[in-house]
Amino acid sequence: MAIDIIWIRDDASLAKHCAEWRRLPFVALDTEFMRVDTFYPKAGLVQVGDSERAFLIDPLLIGDWSPFAELLEDHAVLKVLHACSEDLEVFMRLTGALPQPLLDTQLAAGYLGIGYSMGYSRLVQAVLGIELPKDETRSDWLQRPLTEMQVRYAAEDVQHLAELYAALEPRLTDPKRAWVLEDGAELVANLRREVIPEELYREAKLGWKLTRAQLAVLRELCAWRETEARLRDQPRNRILREHSLWPLARFQPDNLVALARIDDMHPRTVRQDGNTLLKLIREAAETPPEQWPEKLPEPLPPEASPLLKQLRAVGQAEAERLGMAPELMLRKKHLEALLKTGFPDGPYSLPEGLRGWRRELMGQALLDTLATAGQ
């Protein structure tokens, strides 16, 4: 069946269509972008579906995104996307706005027990019985003109997304629909949360093995890497590889030869930023003790594994009862955070990350499981 494709290539046309979309109960949204060697995604196309037509917005020709930002933030219009974390980054970069309310069809499929973390093509095949072409997923979306195949691929994607929502939505009970929307709101909230470069050392692998003095160096390295990646619009690993951070903080080289010997250190980094890194390490090593970060918590010991398994079983039992993908119920990081509040002897308290319907549904059962295990 031929898809009715409408191109939007100027500000006036975008404003006109945004006004029309704001009168609809929902719109399907998708993006095509390039992110091969940049920090930020570069938008090549924005697609909007209204169940009947596919609208293709050329972001290279749009100057005023404010009408689209207003659509994204209009609570009367549901925004439907699939596996949308990178799409959200595109919208934030283009418009400064994020879609709300947001329903992610990948999450909806998990809540309906169809499958967890299903790719778009597989979900369309499972629900609609349609096989999508995969040829254009890695093509150049910044080239102009786009090929006929690219245009067809982009239009079909958003058209079938609207059809997918129409098929999934009636199967969602009121509680499950509320949970999907709650998870969508959390995705948006996470992206709105400002990333503070000076806090990123907390996420570095093996950071817990470092002394407080070494953590002061790691903190500066992580902050510098993040700031430079944004300024140069390059991937973080292009600036300084992830696996070099820990040994740099641990061994603190003081010359270029020693720097070049650090694990996974790219010669380009030594060439371009070697002296900067040496200066940064030297200055960070002189941080007075009262300004050192606190030690990072150690990971849970192997003895905690049986308890972790018991906690996971609480989520699995609830998933079975509700006909949901068990992976959606309780995230490993939240269960580990719960155990860290009191392991090995308790008492335990529910961590901040375990919130919303999950806390309501399973919070007490998790605490009861830990109390029983401790007896």
Q: Is 174 a catalytic residue?
A: no
Is there a catalytic annotation at residue 153? yes
Between CA 260 and CA 271 the distance in angstroms is: 9
User: Could you tell me which residues come within 8 angstroms of residue 261 by beta carbon, excluding any fewer than 6 positions away?
Assistant: 253
Q: Which helix (H) or strand (E) covers residue 333, if one does?
A: helix 332-340
Looking at 50, 87, 89, 220, which residue is catalytic? Answer: 87
Encoded tokens for 225: 């890497």
> 197 with 227: CB under 8 angstroms?
yes
- What DSSP element (H or E) covers 251? helix 242-251
Quick check: is 157 catalytic?
Answer: yes
Q: Does residue 264 carry a catalytic annotation?
A: no
**Pairing relation of β-strands 4-8 and 26-34?**
unpaired
For residue 60 the two structure tokens come to 């290279």
The catalytically annotated residue of 50, 111, 120, 153 is 153
Around Cβ 364, how many Cβ atoms within 10 Å?
A: 11
Q: Go through the chain and tell me how many residues it has.
A: 375
- Catalytic residue (one of 32, 104, 136, 183): 32
Strand partners, 5: 54
Of 42, 46, 62, nearest to 54 by C-alpha is 46
Beta-strand pair 4-8/42-49:
unpaired
| Amino acid making up residue 231 | L
- Written as six digits, the tokens of 365 are 């059962």
Question: Cα 186 vs. chain centroid, distance in angstroms?
Answer: 10
> How far is residue 164's CA from residue 284's CA, in Å, rounded to a whole number?
53
The residue from 50, 89, 104, 157 that is catalytic is 157
Whether 58 is catalytic is: no
104: left (phi over 0), alpha (psi -120 to 50) or beta: beta
CA nearest to 82, candidates 57, 38, 114: 114
**Which of the residues are catalytic?**
30, 32, 87, 153, 157
